Structure 1
Amino acid sequence: MNVVIIKGINQLKKAVTTHLADERGQFAVDMVIGIVVSIVLAAVIVMPSMETLVEDMVTSLTTWWANIELTVFKTS
């Protein structure tokens, strides 16, 4: 009787281990797909708008620095 119980426990353990391995594998695949989709969306949507933002910031900083130069470093 103990042998039957041990065999049953081993079969249950094997079934649970196989199920968890499948779930973990599927989770890993889902994570990789999610990361790839995020990178593609960032490259297609976010990066072009960031380029415009950075260009505007650089232009504003250039203008700001020109004003600072004229005010602080006056050349007579």
Structure 2
Amino acid sequence: QINVTIEPIWGTWGDFDQNSVLSLQGGDDVDIYFTCSWSADEYNKFARDGYWVRLDDPENNLIEKYASDL
């Protein structure tokens, strides 16, 4: 147990792309984001735009810093 509460935001698949972009561009705090093989283009675009943080970055390893016991 890691003392985490998840509050999902539900929507329809038809609204997923638009809501994802609006949420990220609007500055909403997003901790978990759904991705899969058929949404790779969207995921890669968000990565290029700097919306994702690499948790195992060699220069700033957030896993070692904050979750070394996981």
TM-score surpassing 0.5? Answer: no
Scaled by the length of structure 2, the TM-score of the pair is 0.21
Scaled by the length of structure 1, the TM-score of the pair is 0.20
Higher relative contact order (CA 8 A, sep 6+): 2
Tell me which protein shows more strand as a share of its residues.
2
